[in-house]
């Protein structure tokens, strides 16, 4: 599924259920030692997928590499590697690539259902809510565009943070969408509403991504190219 919106030179891996891995680094076991078993399984599974992708990418020692949580929960990747991971009910996915090929990548997956009542105002700006109202009239009820918006916001942050090392709130990006003829896929643009100064390279003012709804899942991706 994720490979429909992320392509080479990035490598993807996904699973629709947790599975036992023959190898889990001790540091990863320690990181979730106090978590409930379901949390441990999703934590291990998505990292197993990331290691599998690193092996396919040709990262030395990628099959044994621990992937821990770093600053603000962002995954810690080997030197020269960039990636993103996501998990939700019934789905886990990882994408990895080389920093020599892309500046950053972000992915997110969510159950394709409406946002809980009262959540939308806290994760959107007025212009986005106006678009949601018109999208519902134009495209009908087949896509929960409110959940798509949330998914795109999460994806934006995941792509933004590795480059800037700064927080990006839900109100700090304006997401606009395009919808393909199928009505269940398309693109989006994240216009950054705060200072886009980065650690190195061109400032981030706009990020472009893709989205897809398939069955009971919605997924989104952003790949930030080198200028």
Identify whether residues 32 and 126 lie together within a single domain. Answer: no
Identify whether residues 98 and 115 lie together within a single domain. Answer: no
Q: Which of 51, 73, 102 is the last residue of a domain?
A: 102
Q: Which of 69, 102, 135 is the last residue of a domain?
A: 102
Q: Which residues participate in the annotated binding site?
A: 39, 47, 86-87, 108-110, 154, 158, 168
* The pLDDT value given to residue 1: 96
**How many domains is the chain partitioned into structurally?**
2
Identify whether residues 128 and 50 lie together within a single domain. Answer: no
Q: Cα angle vertex 208, ends 203, 209, to 5°? A: 140
Stated pTM of the model:
0.95
Q: Which residues participate in the annotated binding site for Mg(2+)?
A: 108-110
Query: What residue ranges of the chain have pLDDT lower than 50?
Result: none
Identify whether residues 134 and 162 lie together within a single domain. Answer: yes
Residue 49 lies in domain: 2-102
Q: Which of 82, 102, 122 is the last residue of a domain?
A: 102
The 3-state secondary structure of the chain reads CHHHCCCCCCEEEEECCCCCCCCCCHHHHHHCCCCCHHHHHHHHHHHHHHHHHHHHHCCCCHHHCCCCECHHHCECCCCCEEEEEEEECCEEEEEEEECCCCCEEEEEEEECCCCCCCCHHHHCCHHHHHHHHHHHHHHHHHCCHHHHHHHHHHHHHHHHHHHHCCCCCHHHEEEEEEECCCCCEEEEEEEECCCCCCCCCCCCCEEEEEEEEECCEEEEEEEECCC
Identify whether residues 97 and 117 lie together within a single domain. Answer: no
Identify whether residues 76 and 146 lie together within a single domain. Answer: no
> From the centroid of its chain, how far is CA 117?
23
* The pLDDT value given to residue 19: 83
* The pLDDT value given to residue 36: 97
Identify whether residues 53 and 132 lie together within a single domain. Answer: no
* The pLDDT value given to residue 112: 98
* The pLDDT value given to residue 202: 80
Identify whether residues 124 and 207 lie together within a single domain. Answer: yes
* The pLDDT value given to residue 210: 99
* The pLDDT value given to residue 141: 84
* The pLDDT value given to residue 20: 78
Identify whether residues 63 and 147 lie together within a single domain. Answer: no
* The pLDDT value given to residue 43: 96
Which CATH number do you get for residue 66? Answer: 3.90.470.20
Q: Which residues participate in the annotated binding site for CoA?
A: 39, 47, 86-87, 108, 154, 158, 168
């Amino acid at each position: 599924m994720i490979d429909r919106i992320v392509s080479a030179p990035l490598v993807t891996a996904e699973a629709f259920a947790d599975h036992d891995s023959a190898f889990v680094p001790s540091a990863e076991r320690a990181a979730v030692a106090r978590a409930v078993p379901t949390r441990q399984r999703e934590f291990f599974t998505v990292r197993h997928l990331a290691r599998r992708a690193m092996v396919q990418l040709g990262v030395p020692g990628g099959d044994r590499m621990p992937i821990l949580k770093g600053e603000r929960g962002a995954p810690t990747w080997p030197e020269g590697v960039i990636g993103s991971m996501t998990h939700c009910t019934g789905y886990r996915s990882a994408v990895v690539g080389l920093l020599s090929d892309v500046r950053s990548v972000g992915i997110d997956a969510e159950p394709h259902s409406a946002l809980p009542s009262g959540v939308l105002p806290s994760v959107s700006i007025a212009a986005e809510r106006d678009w949601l109202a018109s999208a519902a009239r134009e495209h009908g009820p087949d896509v929960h565009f409110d959940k798509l918006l949330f998914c795109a916001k999460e994806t934006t942050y995941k792509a933004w943070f590795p480059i800037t090392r700064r927080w990006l709130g839900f109100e700090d990006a304006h997401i606009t969408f395009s919808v393909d003829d199928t009505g269940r896929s398309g693109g989006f643009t994240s216009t950054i509403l705060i200072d886009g100064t980065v650690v190195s390279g061109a400032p981030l003012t706009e990020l472009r991504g893709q989205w897809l709804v398939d069955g009971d899942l919605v997924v989104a991706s952003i790949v930030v190219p080198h200028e």
